[in-house]
Chains A and B, each alone.
Chain A
Amino acid sequence: MTRAAVHPANEPLLRVDGLTIDIGGASVVDGVSFAVQPGEVMALVGESGCGKSLTSFAMLGLLPNAATRKTGRIMLGDTDLAALSGRALRRMRGKEISIIFQEPSASLDPLTTVGFQIAEAYRQHEGASRTAAFGKARDMLEAVGIPDPDRRLHQYPFELSGGMCQRIMIAIALICGPRVLVADEPTTALDVTIQAQILDVMKRLVAERGTSIVLITHDMGVVADIADHVAVMYAGRIAEIAPVHALFSDAAHPYTALLLASVPRLDVPAKAELATIEGMVPSPEEFGEGCRFADRCPLVSDRCRKEQPPLAERAAGHFSACWHMDQVGELRKAAA
């Protein structure tokens, strides 16, 4: 069976379905569902503690010991990644789905050359010879835009800059041609000029290889640059999912609207007051029955505190979990 037969054009490549993850009895990821089409960039956006990283770890079976997946499926094609055993998962990781993290220097082994580390994944998964794998590693270095690849292959991570190390991580993640790359804040630790380079590499790989990317980030600028679809997370739940242009021009959840308004922009006068979101993200012990954003929301009503709003479709492909999504337009105007 060919890949095309398994995934007709309108079938998503990756589908996260009702994912719930508990830590100490509290659902820190609560009923998260989204789908990723082949060759698209899906951004998971939110502030610290919103559950975006746990969601991404769950996709690769990398949840920390304290966290358990209570319910939910993570379908990559016909395979439920969440149901796989350790060994079966190991065969998938790096081959079908890969991950890169924020701090490349913490992910690379300081004691082996980068060439060895890139080739290792290929030798493990494809059973390739050392020579063949090094040849492939060299090609990957070129693909991620590292000049002088023959010399770089034999260098150690400490001899490379942060931006180079992140390119190495991307090379390792993509050498076996996975269908999905999970990128957890891949440019947060980098300078802006280097960030621009890395984002360009990622865009090129999506275009050339058709790799889907699940991008975890808190930076709305990065989202605006690279994402096709965006899921905004708040306190473990998805607040809004939308195509990228719709999210920025027509946010339908008060949290999204306020988050966008709090980003400093060029067209506002100097030292003008920035929009802020009052209060703080609730801790898991404080999660109530209703909407988890209720305590900070300017549109809050009694219903919000009692009933959890479901993700409801507002326009084609644009979902928001808010009882008052009709009023968000006015809130957006007031905050701007």
Chain B
Amino acid sequence: MTSSSGNVLEISDVAVHFPIRSGVLGTAVGTVKAVNGVSLTIGHGETVALVGESGCGKSTLSNTIVGLQQPVAGSVRVAGDEVVGADRRRLNAIRRNVQMIFQDPALSLDPRATVGATVGEPLKVRGIASGRQLREKVGALLSQVGLRPEHAERYPHQFSGGQRQRIVIARALALEPGLVICDEPVSALDVSVRAQILNLLVDLQRRTGVSYLFVSHDLSVVRHICDRVVVMYLGRFVEIAERETFFANPHHPYTRALMSAVPEADPVVQRAKKRTVLSGELPSPANIPSGCAFHTRCPLATEICSNVRPELTPRDDGALVACHNA
């Protein structure tokens, strides 16, 4: 099922808040505003990277998209179907279209289930395939991710980290979803294996037309794989731009700081680089600064920044930027 607009994902004004409870009665004494009104669409076959530091709300947002987390406001549509407020049966149907891959494949796989059982489970529980047909389908999925059909008989501990991530990818693709949310899928892997998995994700996209929401803190990985980049800071998007524009001409001071902080694997470039090292640390999402949440660390901050929150506004090159001074 596809929506009339042809987008695999449409989220609008999504906010996710968590109460801070204290005392024996667990009364709410405050609110963590993990996600604070964000909107985004992802088209077919598109890869959107969601970038930000720990605590910016990127994982909370991905959990909300698959219905693991209920937002306090907003709407999430996967291929046109509303996730927010959907009952279990609806959610079950929707999740066929949206799957997730996590950082550590060792934690995503059942150590006591064979690879075949793990990869085949989604097909089995939905009654899509069984018996010989199931085995053939699992074999095909394993081949697709660069493993061999006979690997279905083995257990996760018999594989390396990179191979385990391939198994997780095979399982995510079993139901031919329109969207796969990749939450730091290569962060736990070694450099040479990381390259193999990135190549695989790109190759699978070419073959199946799947869309990715690629959640990562690593800009060098992001710039390799994405079509569009979204930068998140304390629960809000601060910049959205096409890949080329984004890396050639970052607007938001936070984006620039993030980019200059990524060490380039070239000593000549890296040591000549003019860096904006951000002072201080990410403020607590339970106590978000007034106005622009970034103003406490921003090199461009002026008076207006602490009073008025900047909205995302389009720039000449098409980028959307939330900043008064950039």
Interface residues of A (CB under 8 A from B): 47-48, 147, 161-164, 191-197, 199-200, 218-225, 227, 244-245, 248-249, 258-260, 262-266, 268, 270-277, 280
**A221 touching B270, Cβ below 8 Å:** yes
Give chain B interface residues in 66-88, CB to chain A under 8 Å.
Answer: none
In the bound complex, how far is the Cα of B281 from the Cα of A147, in angstroms? 11
A116 to B247: give the CA distance in the assembly, Å. 45
Q: Which residue of B lies closest to A48 (CB)?
A: B190
CB distance from B164 to the nearest CB of A (A): 12
Q: Would B261 and A218 count as touching, CB distance under 8 A?
A: no
A262 & B194 in contact (Cβ 8 Å cutoff): yes
Specify the chain B residue showing the minimal Cβ separation from A226. Answer: B263
In the bound complex, CA of A199 to CA of B264 (Å) = 14
Partner of A192, one of B162, B195, B261: B261
Do B191 and A218 touch across chains, with their CB atoms under 8 A apart? yes
What residue of chain B has the Cβ atom nearest to residue A194's Cβ?
A: B281
Report B174-186 CB contacts with A as 1/0, cut-off 8 Å.
Answer: 0000000000000
Do A192 and B191 touch across chains, with their CB atoms under 8 A apart?
no
Within 8 A of A (CB), among B160-205: 160-162, 190-196, 198-199, 202
Contact A264 B220, CB 8 Å, known A192-B261, A271-B225, A277-B192: yes
Number of interface residues of B (CB under 8 A): 48
Query: Within 8 Å CB of A47, what residues of B?
Result: 190-193
Given contacts A248-B268, A265-B265, 12 further A-B contacts (CB under 8 A): A47-B190, A47-B193, A147-B280, A191-B282, A196-B263, A196-B277, A200-B277, A222-B263, A225-B271, A245-B268, A248-B266, A264-B195
Task: Assess the B227–A276 pair: CB atoms within 8 A.
Answer: no
Query: A244 contacts B267, CB within 8 Å?
Result: yes
Residues of chain B contacted by A218 (CB below 8 angstroms): 190-191
Would A274 and B198 count as touching, CB distance under 8 A?
yes
Pick the contact of B265 from A199, A200, A263, A276 — CB < 8 Å?
A263
Q: B226 touches which one: A227, A266, A270 (CB < 8 A)?
A: A270
A263 to B268, CA, bound (A): 16
Q: Check B223–A266 contact: CB distance below 8 A.
A: yes
Question: Is the beta-carbon distance between B257 and A193 smaller than 8 angstroms?
Answer: yes
Footprint of A on B, CB under 8 Å?
53-54, 160-162, 190-196, 198-199, 202, 217-221, 223-227, 243-244, 247, 257-258, 260-271, 275, 277-278, 280-282
Report 22 cross-chain contacts, Cβ distance below 8 Å, ordered by A residue.
A48-B161, A48-B190, A164-B281, A192-B218, A196-B260, A197-B277, A218-B191, A224-B265, A224-B269, A224-B270, A244-B267, A248-B268, A262-B195, A263-B195, A264-B221, A265-B265, A271-B224, A274-B195, A274-B224, A276-B192, A276-B195, A276-B196
Are the C-beta atoms of A263 and B220 separated by less than 8 Å?
Answer: yes
B53 adjacent to A192 (CB under 8 Å): yes
- Contact, CB under 8 Å: B223 / A196: no
Residues of B within 8 A of A194 (CB): 53, 281
Q: How far is the CA of A55 from the CA of B14 in the complex (A)?
A: 49
Report B153 CB to chain A, min CB distance, Å.
20
List, in ascending order, chain A residues with CB within 8 A of B193's CB.
47
**Chain A residues, Cβ within 8 Å of B267:** 223-225, 227, 244-245, 248
Cα A329 to Cα B75 with chains together (Å): 55
Q: Which of B195, B219, B223, B264 has the most CB of A within 10 A?
A: B195
Q: How far is the CA of A54 from the CA of B278 in the complex (A)?
A: 34
Q: Which residues of A contact B263 (CB under 8 A)?
A: 195-196, 199, 219, 221-222, 224-225
Chain B residues whose C-beta falls within 8 Å of the C-beta of A260 in the assembled complex: 265
Complex Cα distance A197/B263, Å?
12
For A48, A195, A271, A275, which residue has the most chain B Cβ atoms within 10 angstroms? A271
List A contacts of B192 (CB < 8 A). Answer: 47, 258-259, 262, 276-277
Q: In the complex, which of the residues A163, A196, A280 contacts B281, with contact meaning CB atoms closer than 8 Å?
A: A163
B177 to nearest A CB, angstroms?
A: 20
The reply to whether A221 and B262 form a contact with Cβ atoms under 8 Å apart is: yes
* Cα A119 to Cα B164 with chains together (Å): 45
Residues of B within 8 A of A271 (CB): 202, 224-225
CA distance A225 to B218 in the complex (A): 16
Report chain B residues within 8 Å CB of A191. Answer: 53-54, 217, 282
Closest to A190 in B: B54
B268: chain A residues at CB < 8 Å are 245, 248-249
By a CB distance below 8 angstroms, the chain A residues around B225 are 270-271
Q: Please, which residues of chain B bring their CB within 8 A of the CB of A276?
A: 192, 195-196, 199
Q: Given the complex of chains A and B, what is the CA–CA distance between A194 and B53 in angstroms? A: 10
Known contacts A47-B192, A191-B217, A218-B191; A280 and B160 CB within 8 A of each other: yes
Q: Which residues of A contact B266 (CB under 8 A)?
A: 224, 248, 265
Q: Residue of B at shortest CB range from A247?
A: B267
Chain B min CB distance to A198 (Å): 11
Residue ID in chain A nearest B281 by CB atoms: A161
Whether A193 touches B198, Cβ cut-off 8 Å, given contacts A224-B267, A225-B271, is: no
- In the complex the two chains form, is B224's CB within 8 Å of A264's CB? yes
Query: Which of B243, B265, B270, B278 has the most CB atoms of chain A within a 10 A radius of its CB?
Result: B265
Question: Quick check: B220 and A193 within 8 Å, CB to CB?
Answer: no
Chain A residues positioned under 8 Å from B191 (CB to CB): 47, 218, 220, 259, 262-263
- What's the nearest-Cβ distance from chain B to residue A15, in Å? 25
- Identity of the chain B residue whose Cβ is nearest the Cβ of A261 in the assembled complex: B195
Given known A163-B281, A221-B262, A221-B263, contact A270–B223 (CB-CB < 8 A): yes
**Is there an interface contact between B261 and A220, defined as CB atoms closer than 8 Å?**
no
| Contact A221–B265 (Cβ < 8 Å) | yes
